[in-house]
Structure 1
Amino acid sequence: MLLRIYSLLVLLYDVIYLLLGCAWAVIESLYQFISPPKEKSVVGERVLIVGAGRGIGRELTLQFAALGADVVCWDINSEANEATKQHALEQGKGRAYAYTCNVAERDQVIRIAEKVRKDVGDITVLIHCCGVPSPRSLVAQPAPAVRQTMDVSILSHFWILEAFLPQMRKNNKGHIVALTSVAGLTGIKDQVPLCASQFAVQGLIEALSEELRTTKSSNKIFLTLVHIYPFIVSSDLAQDIRLRIPSYFGVIDPKDAANQIITAMRRNYAEISIPRYLLYLGNILRLMPRKVSIMFRDLLDTGVDFG
């Protein structure tokens, strides 16, 4: 009898502690929304940008360089990658390096990562912002295209983390930023392989975050997941951006998108979307019946018609 009473008291204590903790977390989140945390300095940080040759990856490289970070550019397009490096050297305050790398090839990632360690030192900020769209119906997807999408959009994360995460854990210092599209939050027609890979990235980051959180020797490694919505695209990726409500939804310049990503990283945010409010909308719609989500999607009818 006494044991049952004791167990009940322990359970009651745990429930009260949980409720108070949840209330405090909500208050803290609201406070940070109203009064955002101070942005940490990136001066002297060694930042690796995967996909630095174009688009948002290029803008991230230039802005990190301007903030005083040493930037390491990875891209499969050596000419575009070298051009980004040269711009970073001209506009930035730190050093810049360029390495041609096909991140879908594990052996190549491991080999070039070792060269980076010798040339630059330990990477302290890792940003993965490359993916391969798959703009066709699932039944029309050729097997090589599916393989390429999965190799670049998800498996490459594992090879890059294999190469750089151990040293971050050893130093208990680092920040990992993964960019996904809205395809990581909701299914999109004619983008089945991409959606599968982007949902996988979400699971990877959430699981890795939990793994690092519960390991005291790695609890100073931060992770940020960024959802880029489909109307924030480089002009060379789409023939037509479809906006049903142009006054409400519009194309965000890659420079502005990169600035928001860097701000989120410097404030140690765990997850953001661009535009920011659409992440909250997506979370709310997940609580609603599926039909509500479909109705919202049909109302907004925002997307990209790929060429």
Structure 2
Amino acid sequence: MIEREIIHTTTASKRIFAVIQDLLQFLVMFGRVLLELIVILAQAFMSKKEKDISKDVVLITGTGHGIGRELALHYASWGSTVVCVDINEQNNMETVQQVKQLNRGAVHSFSCDVSKREQVLALAERVLAEVGPVTVLVNNVGIMPTHPLPQQSAEEIQRVFDVNVFSQFWTIQAFLGQMKEQGRGHIICLSSIAGLVGLSNLVPYCATKYAVRGLMEALHEELREGPYKDLIKVTTIFPYMTNTGLCKYPKVKFPSILGLLDPKEVAKRIVEAHRADCVEVTIPRSLLHINNWTRILPSKCGIMLKDYIDSGVESDLI
């Protein structure tokens, strides 16, 4: 009887100790969160030091036109060695010629279908041998069929996932090892505002951009919990509709506020986010905060706001 009471008392003491321990851990975590909020608020009023990227080897996919071409020009202007990758060799060479006219960082051209894993692995070997280890990977390539889901063919859906999602897996797997060997690196992937908000005529596209968001959040955790916590950074970019030709029939209610973005401005913001080691950035920046706050509200409130903004794309089968 006495032994049972002792065992019961010991068990109760352990439970109380565990509760107290959990409570203390919560208070410590809560204090750290408050401190981090204060630091972020203070940094908002201070000029943040941006890192030097002049010694980086930056590989960019989809450099044949649009945002990819502008990214190549921006990185070269900072003195980075730029590796341009595109399936269209002619367009890619046009980008390379424009970069060379800057007379800044070195530039290289490689043709590759990044949706094919074997080609990406071969690309990694070629770049390593001809240029050197990649320290910055920018997954920019993407395609965007714009019509209702019932009218999307199986081939279209498969292709949009191959290009927008699987290519990013293949490039990360191919070049992350080079970054680990260098003890530093940065992976930048382009999602989209369509990776935060579902839109008509973009069901497969939205699904791929949500997938990129999940890929990057999970990769961030994997790196944060491993030995490369502070050595390899990740950044996810969520641009609004950009004037690259993908949006064939954009629908914009407030063009003066939410008109199509200029690819030059988008590229500039991406490089700024990279240099500031941002984890997530929308372009414009305010859209991330609007989305986060809207998600707190009842779903009908979010739908009301979306209907008021009334932006998106019309079907290209009209």
How does the TM-score come out when normalised to structure 1? 0.95
- Contact in 1 for aligned 2:147/2:315 (Cα 8 Å): no
Quick check: 115-124 or 89-98, which moved more?
Answer: 89-98
How does the TM-score come out when normalised to structure 2? 0.92
Quick check: 124-133 or 34-43, which moved more?
Answer: 34-43
Matching residue's letter, 1:285: T
Distance in 1 (CA, whole Å) between partners of 2:18 and 2:159 is: 54
How big is the shift at 1:130?
Answer: 1.2
1:158-180 deviations in Å (ceiling 9; x for gaps): 11111101121232200000011
> Corresponding residue for 1:233?
243
Matching residue's letter, 2:67: I
- Does the alignment pair 1:69 with 2:84? no
- Aligned mate of 1:181, from 185, 192, 209: 192
DSSP-derived class of the 1:91 partner: coil
- Contact in 2 for aligned 1:237/1:306 (Cα 8 Å): no
How big is the shift at 1:14?
Answer: 0.6
Superposed CA RMSD:
1.5
Distance in 1 (CA, whole Å) between partners of 2:311 and 2:34 is: 36
Aligned residues: 305
How big is the shift at 1:254?
Answer: 1.2
- Contact in 2 for aligned 1:180/1:198 (Cα 8 Å): yes
> Corresponding residue for 2:282?
273
1:153-205 deviations in Å (ceiling 9; x for gaps): 00001111111011212322000000111111111111111111111100100
- Contact in 2 for aligned 1:173/1:218 (Cα 8 Å): no
How big is the shift at 1:291?
Answer: 0.8
Unaligned runs of 5+ in 1: none
- Does the alignment pair 1:305 with 2:288? no
- Contact in 2 for aligned 1:134/1:192 (Cα 8 Å): no
- Contact in 2 for aligned 1:238/1:306 (Cα 8 Å): no
1:230-283 deviations in Å (ceiling 9; x for gaps): 2x231x333443221223222322111111110010000000000100111011
- Contact in 2 for aligned 1:128/1:179 (Cα 8 Å): yes
> Corresponding residue for 2:266?
257
> Corresponding residue for 1:17?
28
DSSP-derived class of the 2:250 partner: strand
- Contact in 2 for aligned 1:50/1:130 (Cα 8 Å): yes
Matching residue's letter, 2:304: M
- Identical-pair percentage: 37
- Does the alignment pair 1:202 with 2:209? no
Matching residue's letter, 1:73: C
Distance in 2 (CA, whole Å) between partners of 1:156 and 1:239 is: 24
1:6-64 deviations in Å (ceiling 9; x for gaps): 32331221111011011012112222333242111111210001011111110010010
DSSP-derived class of the 1:247 partner: helix
Distance in 1 (CA, whole Å) between partners of 2:288 and 2:158 is: 29
DSSP-derived class of the 2:82 partner: strand
> Corresponding residue for 1:143?
154
- Aligned mate of 2:125, from 95, 114, 117: 114
- Contact in 2 for aligned 1:272/1:279 (Cα 8 Å): yes
- Contact in 1 for aligned 2:188/2:234 (Cα 8 Å): yes
Change (3 A) 1:197 1:238: closer
How big is the shift at 1:306?
Answer: 5.6
How big is the shift at 1:90?
Answer: 1.4
- Does the alignment pair 1:289 with 2:303? no
